[in-house]
Amino acid sequence: MTQLWFKTALLPQGWAGRVRVRIEGGRIAGVETQVEPASGDERHAIALPGQCNVHSHGFQRGMAGLTEQRGRPHDDFWSWRELMYRFLDRLDPEDIAAITAQAYVEMLETGYTRVGEFHYLHNAANGQRYDAPEATAAAIVEAARQTGIGLTLLPVFYAHADFGGTPPAPGQRRFISNLDGFARLVDASEKLLDGDDRIGIAPHSLRAVTPDELKQLLTLRPAAPVHIHAAEQTKEVEASIAHLRARPVEWLLGNAGVDARWCLVHSIHLTEVETDALAASDAAAGLCPVTEANLGDGIFPARRYLDAGGRFATGTDSNIQIDIAAELRQLEYSQRLRDRARGCLATPEEPSVGGRLFRAAGTGGAQALQGEFGIVVGHSADIVSLDADHSSLIERNGDALIDGWIFGSNRPAVDCVWRGGKPVVRDGAHLARAEVATRYRKTLAKLLA
């Protein structure tokens, strides 16, 4: 049994003072408030529940910063994608494990305690299947085990280059599956998981999956999460209208039975009707504001969506930067730049922008990954403590602590992280950071030589 005592903690009912959390078997067995620390308590200042990172491509951490040189008069997502294809052609499962572990270390250090790995790198560099179809999935599971992060593995079905069943391009050969092969891949991948790991289904996008294939995919795991890219690019929206006679999110909402199992990743380019309908569907919008800004994707209509009761979560996607605060800050700042206003995502009932976004992202993320959010009896003990001496947190209380962290920190404010009751981050550094970083450095030295 472990007992943690916090000067203040964010609980489901709000902020509480002098909080003791009792942990047994990796789960929260008791929460007491307004109590003094006991001799056996481990003492900390500020406690928050761990967050879920709903959308990650772990291997892309290895190419962060390598695509920032202009290569053509109009660089965009599509030109970035070509560079990404060239990078992934060099990767083997050991490389994937090393790079993904580095990404997961950094996620835990910022307070993400579960990740949804949108995993599409299935085949060998020549496009042939590995003898063990789950070879690259095993690399991701290895990274999660080494770092201790909770894992919702989302094997991706990818069969076509574009709408209408267009044959895949050469650069996509490592992604490609057929329905039978994908079913075997999901079965084999699920056998790798244990504890509170989860499996989901990820049709890549309506570009890469036909309507009939999507229908069959949804039967593979009827209760599992379903994640899909949707409306990230205007080019995709235009092609969807041409081939399906509907915009991507419009088509999904009208034809795919979208409900609380679903996470529609990005969903940037929406009409007002789509925005309201997505909010009413109980699905989560998987927002990746830092990556979306990096790629020049566009701005999600968060103000209208949240006002309509929509659910959302954040993801680090390309892992160009791994930082919860940066994702939530960019989400708010994008609305401010578009609307030329401040406090866009606050409400009279929830006047703290940071507080509202942190709670909403936590709730939506837990739904999207079938995880848990909150310092609650029975939940996994996924807890983050902040450094009370951080300059952005000094003399703050309540939601002002979250606002200070999200909008005022210029260096990491996370002090310690517990995942399933086990300490994984101390004094801001992951306990396996040195070991993971050494392997990561060797891997990049080989790949970038």
- Residues recognised as catalytic: 266, 317
Do the beta carbons of residue 332 and residue 344 sit within 8 Å?
A: yes
Task: Report the relative pairing of strands 198-199 and 202-203 from DSSP bridges.
Answer: unpaired
Phi–psi pair at 295, nearest 5 degrees: -90, -5
CB environment 378-394: b (16+ within 10 A), e (fewer): ebbbbbbbbbbebebbe
Contacts 24+ apart (CB under 8 A), 243-251: 243/163, 243/164, 244/163, 244/206, 244/211, 247/271, 247/274, 248/205, 248/206, 249/274, 249/277, 249/278, 250/274, 250/277, 251/206
Do the beta carbons of residue 133 and residue 184 sit within 8 Å?
A: yes
What is the length of the chain? 449
Structure tokens at 272: 């007002």
Do the beta carbons of residue 119 and residue 156 sit within 8 Å?
A: yes
Taking the C-alpha atoms of residue 444 and residue 156, their distance in angstroms, rounded to an integer, is 25
Query: For 347, left (φ over 0), alpha (ψ -120 to 50), or beta?
Result: beta
Beta-bridged to residue 5, according to DSSP, are 20, 43
Taking the C-alpha atoms of residue 337 and residue 67, their distance in angstroms, rounded to an integer, is 25
The full DSSP string for 204-217 is --TTTS-HHHHHHH
Chain-centroid distance, C-alpha 247: 24
Rg (CA), the chain: 21
Taking the C-alpha atoms of residue 131 and residue 41, their distance in angstroms, rounded to an integer, is 50
Question: Looking at this protein, which amino acid is placed at residue 122?
Answer: H
Q: DSSP code of 67? A: T
Chain-centroid distance, C-alpha 370: 13
Contacts 24+ apart (CB under 8 A), 13-16: 15/397, 15/398, 15/399
Taking the C-alpha atoms of residue 108 and residue 428, their distance in angstroms, rounded to an integer, is 10
